[in-house]
């Protein structure tokens, strides 16, 4: 039930430089695709470069794409973000669609490391009316009241006790004393 056994760091939602508040700046600075021109493990990457890479570069003009053909090396992609973080991902034996998927995943991330979100919302202004303290909504009469007080010492919504109700009923049903009644 607890998360203490996880090595994944946890934190609250944040974004670098209040991104999105003024304008949205895509955080992916540059991406380097390293692949082999012959080996079979790079086939997906090669197919992606031949077909989908130009479209990707056109839709993300804020990201520099570097291609690094290296013989006898397995393919990988290294994403560099504006806050200086780097993300390495091995693309060995990926299909063309998988490369596209992971590339678009890198695009949408900020460089903040993957972490477990403790809450899915964040605010810098948690209260508008002010945090409750014991003096909120207290009657000002308590300042000059002598305790025990007839009204303030009792619970607010006390209501009549059973005994008091019986006394009331008795008083209503009482026959009036003919001596006290003024004679007509």
Partner 1 sequence: MKRNFKAHWVAPTLREFKRRKVIEEDRSGGPKIFHRSTFLEWNYDAEIFAFSNRLGEKFDDSSLRAALTHKSYIEREKARLSDIGLDSNLHFQDNEALSQKGGEMMSKFINGYLRAVFTQVPEELISAMHDFLTSNSTLETVAKHIGLGDLMLCADFPCKTETYVKSFKAIIAALAESSGEERARIFVQDLVVTQLYGQDVNELWNPVDPVGNLAAILKREGKAEPEFRLIRQAGSNSILAVYYVGVYSDKHFISEGAGESLEIAKEMAAREALKKFFHTEDSMRALPFGRQLKNIQSKIEQLENQPNLPFSEWISEKVMSAVH
Residues at the contact surface with partner 1, assessed by CB under 8 A = 16-18, 21-23, 25-26, 29-30, 32, 61-64, 66, 68, 82-84, 124-125, 127-130, 134-135, 138, 140, 143
Residue 168: CB minimum distance to partner 1, A: 38
Nearest alpha carbon to residue 82 among 15, 28, 14? 28
C-beta closer to partner 1: residue 134 or 150: 134
φ, ψ at 60 (rounded to 5°): -120, 70
C-beta closer to partner 1: residue 7 or 125: 125
Which three-class secondary structure state does DSSP give residue 118? coil
C-alpha distance from residue 21 to each of 15, 17, 18, 24, 27 (Å): 10, 9, 6, 7, 14
Reading phi first (left if > 0) and then psi (alpha if -120 to 50, else beta), residue 136 is in: beta
Residue 108: CB minimum distance to partner 1, A: 15
CB-based burial, 101-112: b 16+ in 10 Å, e otherwise: ebbeebbeebbe
Residue 30: CB minimum distance to partner 1, A: 7
E strand map for the chain: 10-11, 28-35, 64-69, 76-81, 86-90, 116-117
Residue 97: CB minimum distance to partner 1, A: 25
Residue 23: CB minimum distance to partner 1, A: 4
C-beta closer to partner 1: residue 130 or 178: 130
C-beta closer to partner 1: residue 138 or 160: 138
C-beta closer to partner 1: residue 90 or 138: 138
């Amino acid at each position: 039930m607890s998360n203490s056994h996880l090595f994944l760091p946890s934190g609250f939602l944040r974004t670098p430089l209040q991104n999105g508040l003024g304008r949205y700046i895509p955080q992916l600075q540059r991406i380097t695709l390293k692949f082999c021109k012959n080996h079979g493990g790079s086939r997906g990457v090669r197919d992606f470069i031949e077909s989908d890479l130009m479209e990707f570069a056109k839709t993300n003009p804020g990201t520099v794409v570097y291609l690094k053909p290296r013989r006898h090396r397995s393919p990988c992609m290294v994403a560099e973000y504006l806050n200086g973080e780097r993300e390495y991902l091995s693309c060995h034996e990926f299909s063309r669609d998988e490369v596209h998927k992971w590339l678009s995943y890198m695009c949408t991330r900020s460089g903040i490391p993957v972490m477990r979100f403790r809450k899915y919302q964040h605010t810098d202004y948690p209260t508008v009316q002010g945090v409750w303290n014991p003096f909120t909504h207290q009657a000002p009469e308590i300042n000059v009241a002598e305790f025990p007080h007839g009204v303030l010492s009792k619970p607010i919504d006390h209501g009549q006790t059973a005994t008091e109700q019986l006394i009331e009923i008795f008083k209503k049903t009482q026959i009036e004393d003919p001596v006290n009644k003024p004679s007509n």
